[in-house]
Amino acid sequence: ETNPVSKENSSLSTIVRRFKDSVSLGKTHKFWESQPVGQFKDIGDSNLPEGPIEPPTLLSEVKQEPYNLPSQYEWTTCDMESDKTCDEVYNLLKNNYVEDDENMFRFNYSQEFLTWALRPPGYYRSWHIGVRAKASKKLVAFITGVPARIRVRDEVVKMAEINFLCVHKKLRSKRLAPVMIKEVTRRVHLENIWQAAYTAGVVLPTPITTCQYWHRSLNPKKLIDVGFSRLGARMTMSRTIKLYKLPDSPATPGFRNMELRDVPAVTRLLRNYLSQFVVAPDFDENDVEHWLLPTENVVDSYLVESPETHEITDFCSFYTLPSSILGNQNHSTLKAAYSYYNVSTKTPLLQLMNDALIVAKQKDFDVFNALDVMHNESFLKELKFGPGDGQLHYYLYNYRLRHALRPSELGLVLL
């Protein structure tokens, strides 16, 4: 399967992905064909209206009991405020979550990251769903939702962001995932929410857009040593290290960490910026405080405060998501920063992102990753990002768009 753990593109991995994607387009999707999502057969049919595919039902008509699991398993609601449960979830994902195509790397979301990602303002405990083996009580599967307001054109829609779908490696291909998706859907419906947004590395019916990961080497020697990237043609290690060298400190006067007192100004800046995209989150001050105020080893945010006027003119952020390196003698973890939300009004975006690279390097990240969403295309090549082998498809549940979007029309980054 093609997955969104991305490493530098190689011709082999690209061929493998294109082949798999072409197979998946002709594949039947027993489960997904039964769901209110855009279907492959409807692509290009511009008679279908934009908006919800199915209307909401009365809450009393929502199924009141959980879906049936195979008899050896039981549902559990995971209390992400409990360190013990958080640790079980962490270990399930650490050993069974998303890998790249060649199984060299696996996402290793930290406990602090999971707590942050799963407990935003207004979160529902009931949307953190686990499956346990009845006999051993071992956690064997997981799926989550968190609430979000997402604007599609000029409509703000209450949605669930679905993430962390994971089935233990030993329980794969037994159709457990569809049951988990139906159960999270039921629990979202019980909160009177009828739409969802999610991303996946696999092609399903049907992406609203398909994005590509790009990677900027910060520690090229390690990236080459672990097989994340390869020495370019006619390149030596020392020339490569020189190529990716960065200044020791950011260049923009007034570039500093975001603080609590900046929340109103950052919210204004971000809301104004995101208004130009077709699909984007509708952030208020509470959301900005949660999602963008720096949290150690989870999310970093910087802004530019004009030294003269003290106005906040620019903003950039990235989150911390390490990957385990599978089967390397010398290194066990790849430290990756992922570009999150960036806004430039005065400092050129190129310069702002160069400063982001510099602070990421100071913080000892090995690589800085970015999708080709929003205005990211404008800096990727110039700042020496290279295309990755990972594609990331974005989806909406129970909401149809007339046409697929270009990645640059998307203003949403999911974790």
> What is the set of active-site residues?
415
How many residues are there in the chain? Answer: 415
The whole-angstrom separation of Cα 376 and Cα 379 is: 6
Which residue in 307, 301, 303, 267 sits closest to 286, CA to CA? 267
* 301 touches ligand MYA (CB under 6 A): no
Place of tokens 């998946």: 24
Q: How far is the CB of 7 from ligand MYA (least distance, A)?
A: 16
CB 294 within 8 A of CB 261: no
Q: 39's torsion region: left (phi>0), alpha (psi -120 to 50) or beta?
A: beta
- Of residues 165, 325, 337, 373, which one binds ligand MYA by CB under 6 A? 165
* 97 touches ligand MYA (CB under 6 A): yes
Which residue in 73, 144, 95 sits closest to 115, CA to CA? 144
Q: How far is the CB of 36 from ligand MYA (least distance, A)?
A: 9
- 241, burial (CB in 10 Å: exposed 0-12, middle 13-18, buried 19+): middle
Q: How far is the CB of 319 from ligand MYA (least distance, A)?
A: 16
Which among 159-167, 237-245, 373-381, 386-394 is the span making contact with ligand MYA, rule CB under 6 A? Answer: 159-167
Neighbouring-strand partners of residue 147: 160
* 109 touches ligand MYA (CB under 6 A): no
* 173 touches ligand MYA (CB under 6 A): yes
CB 391 within 8 A of CB 212: yes
- Of residues 52, 66, 120, 178, which one binds ligand MYA by CB under 6 A? 178
DSSP at 41: G
* 196 touches ligand MYA (CB under 6 A): yes
The whole-angstrom separation of Cα 321 and Cα 338 is: 7
Which residue in 242, 240, 243, 246 sits closest to 224, CA to CA? 240
309 token code pair? 């006027």
- Of residues 6, 163, 320, 347, which one binds ligand MYA by CB under 6 A? 163
The whole-angstrom separation of Cα 130 and Cα 29 is: 24
* 160 touches ligand MYA (CB under 6 A): yes
DSSP helix, strand, coil percent of the chain (3-state; round to 5)? 30, 25, 45
- Of residues 204, 223, 343, 353, which one binds ligand MYA by CB under 6 A? 204
Site string for ligand MYA, 19-58 (x = CB under 6 A): ----------xxxx--------------------------
Neighbouring-strand partners of residue 303: 256, 315
* 172 touches ligand MYA (CB under 6 A): yes
Which among 163-171, 206-214, 215-223, 303-311 is the span making contact with ligand MYA, rule CB under 6 A? Answer: 163-171
CB 255 within 8 A of CB 355: yes
Q: Which of residues 374-403 bind ligand MYA (CB under 6 A)?
A: 397-398
Which among 38-46, 63-71, 190-198, 245-253 is the span making contact with ligand MYA, rule CB under 6 A? Answer: 190-198
Strand 312-320 versus strand 343-344 pairing type: antiparallel
Neighbouring-strand partners of residue 142: 130, 166
Which residue in 111, 138, 100 sits closest to 3, CA to CA? 100
Residue 166 or 278 having the CB closest to ligand MYA: 166
Tell me the number of residues near ligand MYA by CB under 6 A: 35
Q: How far is the CB of 52 from ligand MYA (least distance, A)?
A: 10
- Of residues 117, 131, 140, 184, which one binds ligand MYA by CB under 6 A? 184
* Single-letter residue type at 304: V
- Of residues 140, 166, 292, 312, which one binds ligand MYA by CB under 6 A? 166
- Of residues 181, 265, 312, 353, which one binds ligand MYA by CB under 6 A? 181
Which among 11-19, 167-175, 224-232, 323-331 is the span making contact with ligand MYA, rule CB under 6 A? Answer: 167-175
* 157 touches ligand MYA (CB under 6 A): no
Q: What are phi and psi of 187, to 5 degrees?
A: -70, -30
* 188 touches ligand MYA (CB under 6 A): yes
Enumerate binding residues for ligand MYA (CB under 6 A): 3, 29-32, 96-98, 160, 162-167, 172-178, 181, 184-185, 188, 194-196, 198, 200, 202, 204, 397-398
